[in-house]
Structure 1
Amino acid sequence: MERQKHGSQDRVPGGTIPFLWAQSLYVLCCLLHDRYLTPAELDPLSRRLLATEKRPPCEVQVVILAEGRNVKEELLRNEIEVQMISELESKYAVLPASVFAKILQRVGQSTKLNLSGRPADRDVQLLSTSRLYHVGNKLVAFTPQFMDVRRSHLVYDIRVLMDEWSSELYYIYNSWNSVSISGRPLVVLVISDNMLQTDAVVEDTSRSFITDITQKSQKSAVLGALKKIKNGYIGGARVVMGNISDFSSTTSVSKLEFQDGSVEQLFTTNGEAQPRSLPRETPYESGTPRGTLRRSDSVRGRWFKQFNTVQAASMRHRSIVLDSNDADLLKLRLANATVKKIMEPTVEEEEAPQHTHLLSSYHTDSIGENSKERLQHSQLEEMEVADLITMLAETTLLDEQASIIHFLWLKLGPNFDTKLANIGGVTVRILIEEVYIKACESRDWSWARLTAGLLKKQLDELEKAVTHLLVRQKQITVGMPSKNEEAITIPKNKEELLQIFTRCYSEDPNSFILAQELIVSLGSLVRTDPRLFVEMFRLRIGLIIQVLASELARLRNLNAEAASQHLLSVSPFELKSMLLSLLSGRLLEESAGPGTENEFGVKGLRTGIGSFRKQIEERKSMRERAKSMRARLRSSENLVGKKMASSSASKLSFASLTAPTVANAEESPSDSEDSLAGEEFQFGIWLRHRRIDGALNRVPSNFYANLWDTVRMFPHGISIDGIVLSYGLTQEMTRNEIKFALQVEQVLNQIAEPEYRELIVEVLTLLGKLRLLLMADPQIPDGRPFEVEYVLQHANRVFVEHNAEMGTIVLECCGSGIGCDGARGICRHFYDTAPAGEFGTVHYVIRAAMDIFAPS
């Protein structure tokens, strides 16, 4: 009507919003009509479809490519047929995610508007690399970012990489199907020769057998993952394996269009690293790339004295700096069985490796400290630079090369120009970079961690891991307690995290990188299994390192420094497995034998006063049998003395029959003590549990909320180790407020002994149930804060008296008034008693609480 006769219709203003809404719908309809948009792009959740019309879950398409012909033939021998990268059709290109990041830098870039575009250091998300891209005349596939070996040394651990394969493929499968993206996902995985090696370069003959086993297990891990992909199922994800040309018609495809063709120039880079300053005159042996140091043979024989000086100075920096100011850490370093330390104190000191730190934090007498510093200074000064360069040019072994370069770093600094092979600009920093790459490729984790710490490298996953922990209300502290511990309570960017780690580990490059590994592992575990972190509000990385070192000291019978050095040589996968074992409350034990996938395992050992008494009875019966055996032996020896001249044949027969008996009987002074010490060590299971839980700040579920109720029961508050939690805290903070939990944890962290801390936690847990235990209102002391330690001390007295009446092993120490080495005067057998059960610690704490709080 309005078109036929203009102005015939009344005009009603509808406002700007309906007009813009209509215009937007019109523009979208035009884009759909002209096929610039698809319905799936406007409706990624597929809400336009009925429930019965939604497509079934799509599989993840996986393309396996071999880096070279050797890899292809090796996989073919294992019935896995793949293509090489060079065999791809010309219209396809496979590039690393780093090239994709450079391309995405162009997005949003505008010189007129002064816009720099997408930041280059921002991660490329996994779903972005799970599709094909039209760039010019090519279809480009990008490998996932977790396959980039330049991210960190963790990628070189094949078992860590295989775990990432499994988890990331499941993430793609789950995410892609939850949003119903048009097309199927495509993941390109490149297998390199280093991933299938079974003969890594090993200089130390004592480690060659173990390293060969590790390499074989890593190769089997790769082949096992590839066979799972070939079979169509891995890590909960349905996958299908094929060539990239087979999937081009079913894969999700996007376009990358730019005004100029400069992006296509990136195809020729292939994501290579920038050219290295060192020449490439002599390549690596065994085909390892980028070797520039001259290869000859060992210099240990020709330069024996000089190299020993170099290695000694280098080894002093190849262990973790332990903080001796904290008695808690001192306890953890002495977590081994005390029996052996009492029996052989001097032997252990003599056999201990002569490794100390140039920048040590140990507190010894000033005379020894000064003489040690003078010795270190003289060792650094007496070595001529020309001799060091000559040794470096002649050596062929990675360990020798790394020791010499590390010595140059300590003596002359990172910017010293070595002029190696008469080439200028070859600084010590460049050589350390090359040592880092070689150590990663040969999987020498000790040197990889040390060089990464010297270069202040930062793991790409660190920032995400910190965020994952913080959003789940898990705070982190880095550094050694009582020295330079610093808390991370809010998310930080990479620069801020680097500054924190530099401040906390300025003198300890090993812990600089080891702490990052632990945080990355904790971030991964808190995502996959958050139940491990229940009621743990603050994760103290320094204490966790000490716990791991003490467990290694127990397993390998090492001293503290040797255990810390051994911890640095553990692979990232084994380190994560050890951390998982400790967090899950299981005890770390040696694996059953060589060839297993892990070097360490977990062993669930049942203990408690029941098995405690059973073992005591067995020990008593063993003593009685030993006494009767010795009596029979004496009588038989007398009989033999009388019949000595009877015949040589009978004497020989008697000797052969009684030899085992004599050996068993005569081992009583020493060997039997060792066996008893081994049995006593088995008694330390619950003591170890309490030490580990105390170091991890682990408390029972709802502990802080229940403690809030407990504090309200006491008008003057409660005292823990001399620090008072006042009644006023319950007025200022709510029951479930995290500030109250942090306040309580700050008080508990003042307790130096972790096992004593755990018993205090058990007492506090039971104090919250006084009314339930007494069936009446408890009699609360007036006039002063109640000391929680009083309940624990009374429970210990009840425990000692009860076990003395039963005649248990407590009679050998506290039951006879002798006393033992338990922390804070508590019997060490009380620490080693299971919490639950008829004779558990809870039983004695309840009896003590009823004696103290029972109404008169």
Structure 2
Amino acid sequence: MVAQDNRVTVADLLDEVYTKAGDLGIWAVVRRAAGLRLMVDISLSDAVTSILVRGKQIAVGKAYSEASLISVPMPHDEIADKINHFCREDIRDRVLTQEILIYVGILIRSEPGLFQGLLTLRVGYLILLITSELARELHVTQDEAYDYLMQLSPFEVKVRLRQVLTGYTGMSNLLRQQESLHVKQKESDIAWVVLPGIAEGIEVPPGGWRRFRQAEGATGRVPKEFFKQVWLLMQHCKGLVIGDKLERRNRLDSEIMLSEMTAGERNFALLVEHLLNKIEAPEYRQVNIEALIELAAIAGNNPKLQIEEYIVLDVLIGHAVRLAWLENHSQRSDRYDEDKASAWRSFYNTSPRDCASYILKAFRFLTEFVKDF
């Protein structure tokens, strides 16, 4: 009979993996083990305080809400709780976010000029900019570059972060270029159509459209023929990314899907439903459904439409939210970064028809037409 003292827990094994991977410099494994063990750097609180005392606020994760903001000093364990709640589904992101915050704390003390003009430091956006630069260098997709980023040493991450802050405007322009959708068709030949909303004819529901979307998104209900529409949409693009765009498992490749599955196949419906159900906020899940319906309508009215890239719903919806907000707050165009939480709250309260209209505008905004084809 084995004595209790000889028992080895999963936590013990993870600690051993963490230590050995660190010795070997396998940083992606180090970050995963640290994330699974919910490790928190004790200097995190000091780093955050260094940022806040210089008049900045911090947003963690990809959520655009007041709850994701850090505007007052707090203990490291409370900061970690906020990071764990709002960061991406990849558990390594929690550890990388801590690293970024600590490096920002160091850089803002030594080189405060790097942060001029930045009121809110959005850690998720900084990670996205680093990922975009890696994607450009390596000629890979952003989700593939994100995996490469996780393999970098802490020192290399710090160097990359400084490069991003040094060329912040240029990096933002690079991201915009990578988000573009190249279309092999003349713009004048495209029928830009706004499909009647999925709630067409319904008066503003009690509690507003956000509550309506929360209820609809929570049920997981989709319109009839929805999955067939998504399948047909995939005939017009390289693929779809539903949910967190830096998570490779959220990518649906059109060539694979269309060759292996049919429009009415249950497995295809289950796959799309699975990606939608991974989206935590029900109102955002519902907006994704509305966006897919509008995109399918555009594709259906333009049989020759062909998009060379993956359609990333996170990107498309993000631009729709921005365009909707700036349409009514044009005087705030240079301060949109400060208004994102309000912009998202406002967008959730737009009618489904208005949502479809802004999805169309965002699609047109992202579209670049290939002249020679």
Structure possessing the higher relative contact order (Cα contacts under 8 Å, 6 or more residues apart): 2
TM-score computed with the length of structure 2 as normaliser:
0.47
Point out the structure with the larger helix share. 2
